[in-house]
Amino acid sequence: MVRKPAALEQGATLGIISPASPAHDLEHLSAGITVVEKLGFKVSLSKNVLGYNKYLAGTEKERLEDLHRAFLDPAIKGIICLRGGYGSMRLLSGINYRIVRRNPKIFIGYSDITALQLALWKKTGLVTFSGPMLTADLGNEPSALTLKHFYNALTERHPVGAIPCAPNAQKTVLAPGRARGRLLGGNLTMVAATLGTPYEIDTRGAILFLEDIDEQPYRVDRMLQQLHLAGKLDRSAGIVFGEFVNCEADDKNSSLTLLEVIQAAVANLGVPSFYGLCAGHGAHKVTLPLGVQAEINADECLLEIIEPATI
């Protein structure tokens, strides 16, 4: 069963949680809060939002407590993750998914947060949003394009429509064709890391979205081959690659390029695919609803969301 959250109204309160790594500095936190408030929303910081446990934002107990409380609190209408980093996977087996099923809310994040989004979809059918986080994005001088799509995706009750390719991206048709399916996926590292677990992605008939950052081409190659061997690429209806930031080899003479790796992975699948969507770790990012119907037109490097993500 697909569960859609309610669209945000002006004045709605957004809860801020830290399910992964800790905040780098309070300056970006303050700046992110200011941006959210200028968009017309209120902010509620979770009890442990500034928690610190080495590379984790507090203990599992603290981070789970904040996650559960955000979904349970009726005053909180949407949830934004502070940042990614690492740590979301450590929460998956401890989440009370019944709480989420009974209290569907807008949930926003990307990168390491992909693990949570995969689990929430698998266990509850909740439509979540791959979009900017508080400190890493909203607190770091977000572009007008980022803010426009962030606001529209969370407040409008009709399909968000066409998703642009990233400005200056090396948009590339990988395999021509058109297809329709539910948009699922997120960060490649996290999609691959959850294979073989109860939270692994089911790509049958889906439009698979992938993005990543700071991975050498051979590592991207390995993860795509893992998805291929697990049947996740050829069973999808279409594949759309967002930006892969800083994913070229330092020694270009001894490495395939990023695009060569991606092209090789999809070349013989017969699945419409393209690279360059304005989503992921780039300077500009569109907020993508995950779990709703989308159409891919790979010939024109076009992805269109055709189903409302909110009620």
- Residue 99: is it exposed, middle or buried by C-beta count within 10 angstroms (0-12/13-18/19+)? middle
Spatial CA neighbour of 301 closest among 279, 269, 268: 279
Task: Name the amino acid, one letter, at 223.
Answer: M
Whole-angstrom Cα distance, residue 73 to residue 291? 24
Options 130, 281, 284, 295, the catalytic residue: 281
Based on the residue annotation, tell me whether 304 is a catalytic residue of this protein. Answer: no
Structure tokens at 52: 């610190």
Where b means 16+ CB within 10 Å and e means fewer, 14-47 reads bbbbbbbbbbeeeebbebbbebbeebebebbbbe
Tell me the residue length of the chain: 311
Options 28, 62, 130, 211, the catalytic residue: 211
**Backbone torsions φ then ψ of 102, nearest 5 degrees:** -85, -15
Whole-angstrom Cα distance, residue 100 to residue 115? 15
The DSSP annotation for 65-116 comes to: HHHHHHHH-TTEEEEEES--SS-GGGGGGG--HHHHHHS--EEEE-GGGHHH
Spatial CA neighbour of 260 closest among 231, 232, 218: 218
Options 18, 111, 130, 236, the catalytic residue: 111
Whole-angstrom Cα distance, residue 211 to residue 127? 19
Based on the residue annotation, tell me whether 211 is a catalytic residue of this protein. Answer: yes
Based on the residue annotation, tell me whether 215 is a catalytic residue of this protein. Answer: no
The DSSP output letter for 138 is: I
Structure tokens at 237: 């209806």
Active site residues: 111, 211, 281
